[in-house]
Each structure stands twice: as structure tokens, then as C-alpha cells.
Amino acid sequence: MCIKLATYNIQFGYGQDMAYDLGRITQTVAGQDIVCLQEVTRNWRACEHDDQPALIAYALGLYGAFAPGFEVGQTANGPDGRADNRPRGFGNMVPSRWPILYSRAHSLPRAPVNPEDVPADFYPLVDLPRTALETVIDVPGRPLRVFSTHLSHLPGAQRGAQISVLQDLVTAVSAEAQLWQPDPSLSHFVEDMAAPPVPDDTILCGDFNFEPGHPEYAQMCGHFADGWALGGQDPEKVGTCVETDGRFSTLDYCFFSTAIAQAVKTAKVEQANKSSDHFPVFFELEL
């Protein structure tokens, strides 16, 4: 079975022309089986107060899970005086052709920033809380554990600490209990559903904010296989993001656990697509 997998930092739906157009995003990833998205928002004024996770899932006709790295409460009241309970959110999403058996959000650490580690053109005070969205997708015959994540843009120890958390989340699978145990006393809670699996086969996708020459890349490759290399590409040359100075950088990856690495057949980036400051990245797997 061929599986089409994509990862895409959508920059809130703003393209390189600085126009907001969520339709361009959904058109870009239409036809994919599993998609990992970053910088997805909910109820942002700059994004027309759109509930982007709901709109994306509906436009694609796919199942969807969303996890904000944070939500900011609104203080407004509606015409009837009731509180406006539509918090502003920013985070990651996974749309999937197959049912999402469960999803969990994992907060990633935010280490104190040493100003000496940060170049002058960085802004350490605007680093946002980051999250890793864990999903288990009911791929026929082989459930997959898929993460959509977005690491800090700051250099130094912060990304390394976040990668350590990702590694622990994946390698601790064998020691982790099921989400619930079969117990008649829980029937009212689980509605007679069997506990979903927590498979070893794991894919970690997203905007990792490091380049192949950075130490964090080596840190990831010490535990996982880089999909670029598996798909016959040189990660130093693919270019997945256009920087403010116009150069291309490689920041977006899919990393694979050992048992599923051999399933990767192709990898490509669509640099002609200007719907975001990042380019959409596509992989094909044969399971």
C-alpha cells in the first residue's frame, strides 16, 4: 500500500505575497493521506478569526487533530453579555485519511535564554510555547504513531532539550501502559471501546528549525532516520524555507523509527509553491 505523507509549516495561511489565503494551503496538500501542519491558528484577528483546524479538515474531507502550544483567553463579551469563549490558539495539526485512534499534546521545554547564544537578528523574547502533537492513525494493517511538531527557532540549549523530550516520548513506548485497561467498571467512560494501540512505528514530522550542519540534526539522527536521505535526497541541498534575505534553508523534515525507515520510497519539496514562507514537503511510503 502506498501512503502519501506531507509536512508543511503554513505560516498561519499567509503566503510570500503577504496575503491570507487558507484555500491555497488546502489545495497544496489535497490528495495526501497523512499531513502534518505547523503554525495553525484558531480565532486570530489577522486570520479573519477563522477556526483553521475545522476549516482545513472540512476542506480536505479528512479526520483531524489539533494541539495548540498555547491559548490566550479573550476578554470580550457577546451582545447578550455572555463571555466570548473563543480563545486564540497557535499550534500543530494532523489531518488523516484514516481514523485518528487517539491524540495527545506534549508541551516542549522552554529553557532560559542566554543572550550570548542569540545573534543580534534574533528576538529571544518572542519565542512561543511549543508542542508536539502525538497521534495514532489507524492505517489498515499497520497503525502508525505520527507526531507533528515545531521546535524553537532560538539557537542554544533550548532545541536540544526539546529533542530529548521527543526521543523520550518515542523510546518509552514499550514501557507505557495502555490508555485504559479492560474493566467493566469503566464501561460508562470508554463506551465499550478497546484501548487503542501505541505502536512502535513512529514518524516525527515538522519544522525543526535546525539545518543539517547543526548539532541538533546529529542529535535527531542518533535515534531516527532522516526521510530526506531515505528518499534519495541530500538534506543540505533540498531547501524547505525561504529566509528574509532570500536564501533557502532546510528546516523541515520527517524522521522515521528504525522499523519503518525502509518504507520510505520518495521525498520531494515543492519550491515553486509560495503559499507560505516554508515549502510543502512530500514523502511516499510503501507499507
Total domains in the fold of the chain: 1
Question: What domain range is 141 assigned to?
Answer: 2-72+85-176+186-286
Q: Is residue 139 part of a domain?
A: yes
Determine contact, residues 227/268, Cβ cutoff 8 Å.
no
Helix (H) or strand (E) holding 264: strand 264-269
Res. 6 pLDDT band, cuts 50 70 90: very high
Q: In the predicted model, is pLDDT for residue 84 greater than 80?
A: no
Q: Tens digit of pLDDT for each residue in 253-273? A: 999 999 999 999 999 999 999
Q: In the predicted model, is pLDDT for residue 124 greater than 80?
A: no
What is residue 172's predicted lDDT score, i.e. its pLDDT?
Answer: 83
Report, as an integer, the average pLDDT of 129-150.
Answer: 96
Q: Is residue 26 part of a domain?
A: yes
Q: Is residue 77 part of a domain?
A: no
Q: Is residue 150 part of a domain?
A: yes
What is residue 266's predicted lDDT score, i.e. its pLDDT?
Answer: 98
Q: Is residue 78 part of a domain?
A: no
Rounded alpha-carbon distances, angstroms, from residue 223 to 27, 145, 171, 202: 34, 16, 9, 11
Q: Is residue 181 part of a domain?
A: no
Q: Is residue 80 part of a domain?
A: no
What is residue 209's predicted lDDT score, i.e. its pLDDT?
Answer: 95
> How far is it, in rounded angstroms, from Cα 176 to Cα 115?
38
Q: Tens digit of pLDDT for each residue in 171-197? A: 887 677 778 877 878 788 888 888 898
The residue among 206, 214, 285 whose CA lies nearest residue 5 is 285
CATH number at residue 27: 3.60.10.10
What is residue 193's predicted lDDT score, i.e. its pLDDT?
Answer: 85
What is residue 180's predicted lDDT score, i.e. its pLDDT?
Answer: 82
The angle subtended at Cα 44 by Cα 31 and Cα 30, nearest 5°, is 5
Q: Is residue 209 part of a domain?
A: yes
